[in-house]
Amino acid sequence: MTSSALLPTPVTDTQLSLADDLLQLLRTTTTEPRPDEQLEALTLAVAADLPVLLWGEPGIGKTAALTQLADTLDLPLTTVIASVHEPSDFSGLPVVGDDPAVRGVPMAPPQWAVELVRAGKGLLFLDELSTATPAVQAALLRVVLERKVGALQLPPGVRIVAAANPRASAADGWELSPPLANRFVHLYWVHDPDVVVRGLGGVWPRARLPRLAQERLPDAVAYARRAVCGFLRARPTLIHRLPSTETRRGGAWPSPRSWEAALTLLAFGTAAGVSREVLALLVRGAVGDGPGLELLAHLDRMDLPDPESLLSDPPCAELPERGDLRQAALEAVVAAVGARPERDRWEAAWKVLARALETGPPDLLVAPATALAGLRRDDWEVPETVERLAGVAGVARRADRSVVRATAGAGRTTGSRR
């Protein structure tokens, strides 16, 4: 018997193969159509060809979301860790040719940019952006806005998404420079416990491109232009407002460039019929929280029905279903009567309130009914319609009595403590 026959049979390869099989099973997941506002906002911004910056704590799932998005959209994913590159990796390396005095010195692009051009499409993922030095951030300006790496122009099929950690949780983090920050749509990535649990079980939400309706495209563009231009005419100080603190300058803030992005997102969101929540994420991510919320309020006012139209045909009045918009529409009707007080208009306004009572909750009518009653002239008789709103007046009286009782009770409590 030879000595080799006494040695145990090697099992290392077999065990490693089984380990690979187990890893493959763990990495095999599926997707399902599931409402996910973050993912929907990201996908719409990518479809609109706007650079997106995902903010989130480490390990929150930003990179996984980008990988899944690239797979769904069938785009090759090119990941570039910005913090480990030099400025020349984005602006190009100088290459001295045969006759530099005549031909100049061309700037050679890096390999990843050349591969993107060869593919003709792709998702360029600039990771760890908040740990890139100011010099690297400056070199990224042309990449993000002009899609140029050195002398190489990236093809239109390339989309750009970046990710960053807040400075407090980034390794040797820097605040983003204002010029670079203003080129992005900022989305703040947070985890949804249900999504995480279901994803760890093997099923993640599916990213889908927005479904744009061909017939809605012209109207969507017209609506977006009318909304943004009308808002900025009323609030010209918000056209350009550089934040006062360094941290806020590294986020979303209003400028002509970011308002153009907001207009684009509004047109895409309107054409795709996205929810108000998704639209809010996108608009606020483009121009900042304050200006974005003001624009959304302006959109609500744009959607309100014309009070004169409501007064002209009260029985057929179509009022908004959302409570705050419905009350705003009724208050606009009362304001229109107050601006031109005439008996027939006053009576028509009561009919509009009666119509609102038929189609919605009565508590929204308390304030408009009280204001409308205050517009009555001495020679105007009370119309029969008011009798149908007697219950609303009762609600108002009960509310007033409750306030009186609560105030009196508070007074007694205060007195007993003295």
CATH number at residue 147: 3.40.50.300
b vs e for 249-263, b when ≥16 Cβ sit within 10 Å of the residue's Cβ? bbbbbbbeebbebbb
pLDDT given for residue 296 in this prediction: 93
* CA dist., res. 181 & res. 129, Å (int): 10
Task: Please check whether residue 150 lies inside any domain of the structure.
Answer: yes
Provide the percentage of residues in the chain whose pLDDT is more than 90: 36
Provide the percentage of residues in the chain whose pLDDT is more than 70: 85
pLDDT given for residue 302 in this prediction: 83
Q: Does residue 133 register a pLDDT over 60?
A: yes
What is the band of 74 on the pLDDT scale with cuts at 50, 70, 90? confident
pLDDT given for residue 390 in this prediction: 66
What is the band of 158 on the pLDDT scale with cuts at 50, 70, 90? very high
pLDDT given for residue 414 in this prediction: 45
pLDDT given for residue 154 in this prediction: 92
Which residue(s) pair with 274 in the sheet?
none
Instruction: State how many domains the chain has.
Output: 3
84 and 147, same structural domain?
yes
Which is more confident, 402 or 21?
A: 21
158 and 198, same structural domain?
yes
* CA dist., res. 74 & res. 46, Å (int): 13
357 and 273, same structural domain?
no
324 and 273, same structural domain?
no
Task: Please check whether residue 355 lies inside any domain of the structure.
Answer: yes
181 and 38, same structural domain?
yes
pLDDT given for residue 159 in this prediction: 94
Q: Collapsing DSSP states into helix, strand and coil, what is residue 174?
A: coil
Which is more confident, 43 or 398?
A: 43
pLDDT given for residue 300 in this prediction: 85
Task: Please check whether residue 416 lies inside any domain of the structure.
Answer: no
Each residue's pLDDT tens digit, 142-157: 899 889 888 889 999 9
183 and 44, same structural domain?
yes
Q: Does residue 124 register a pLDDT over 50?
A: yes
* Mean pLDDT, rounded, of the chain: 84
Instruction: Give every CB contact of residue 13 below 8 A, 6+ residues apart in sequence.
Output: none
351 and 397, same structural domain?
yes
Instruction: Give every CB contact of residue 95 below 8 A, 6+ residues apart in sequence.
Output: 105, 106, 107, 108
What is the band of 236 on the pLDDT scale with cuts at 50, 70, 90? very high
The residue out of 205, 224, 254 marking a domain boundary is: 205
Q: Which domain does 128 fall in, by range?
A: 33-94+108-205
> What single string gives the DSSP state of each residue in 278-295?
HHHHHHHHHH-HHHHHHH
Task: Please check whether residue 221 lies inside any domain of the structure.
Answer: yes
Q: Does residue 99 register a pLDDT over 80?
A: no
pLDDT given for residue 403 in this prediction: 37
What is the band of 171 on the pLDDT scale with cuts at 50, 70, 90? low
Token reading at 200:
């760890």
Q: Does residue 186 register a pLDDT over 50?
A: yes
406 and 273, same structural domain?
no
159 and 71, same structural domain?
yes
Average pLDDT over residues 268-280: 93
Q: Does residue 86 register a pLDDT over 50?
A: yes
Task: Please check whether residue 21 lies inside any domain of the structure.
Answer: no
pLDDT given for residue 169 in this prediction: 62
Each residue's pLDDT tens digit, 315-344: 888 888 888 888 888 988 999 999 999 999
296 and 230, same structural domain?
yes
Q: Collapsing DSSP states into helix, strand and coil, what is residue 80?
A: strand
Q: Which helix (H) or strand (E) holds 235?
A: none
- What distances in angstroms separate CA 315 from CA 93, 121, 304, 352, 381, one per listed residue? 73, 56, 18, 7, 21
Average pLDDT over residues 15-41: 88
Determine contact, residues 362/392, Cβ cutoff 8 Å. Answer: yes
Q: Taking the model in full, what pTM does it have?
A: 0.75
pLDDT given for residue 358 in this prediction: 86
pLDDT given for residue 66 in this prediction: 86
Name which of 37, 13, 5 is nearest 285 in CA terms: 37
Each residue's pLDDT tens digit, 361-416: 888 888 888 888 888 888 888 887 777 776 665 544 443 443 344 445 544 544 54
The residue out of 268, 303, 338 marking a domain boundary is: 303
pLDDT given for residue 322 in this prediction: 82
What is the band of 59 on the pLDDT scale with cuts at 50, 70, 90? confident
pLDDT given for residue 402 in this prediction: 38
Task: Please check whether residue 390 lies inside any domain of the structure.
Answer: yes
* CA dist., res. 108 & res. 380, Å (int): 84
Each residue's pLDDT tens digit, 208-221: 888 888 888 999 99
Instruction: Give every CB contact of residue 185 below 8 A, 6+ residues apart in sequence.
Output: 45, 50, 51, 52, 53, 252, 261, 265, 282, 285, 286
- What distances in angstroms separate CA 338 from CA 111, 277, 315, 342, 357, one per listed residue? 69, 35, 21, 9, 21
> 3-state DSSP: the chain helix, strand, coil percent, rounded to 5?
60, 10, 30
Q: Does residue 100 register a pLDDT over 70?
A: no
pLDDT given for residue 5 in this prediction: 55
154 and 61, same structural domain?
yes
Q: Does residue 126 register a pLDDT over 90?
A: yes
Task: Please check whether residue 341 lies inside any domain of the structure.
Answer: yes
The residue out of 158, 182, 205 marking a domain boundary is: 205
Task: Please check whether residue 258 lies inside any domain of the structure.
Answer: yes
pLDDT given for residue 199 in this prediction: 85
Which is more confident, 398 or 186?
A: 186
Q: What is the identity of the amino acid at 25?
A: L
Token reading at 192:
């949804």
Which residue(s) pair with 77 in the sheet?
123
148 and 220, same structural domain?
no
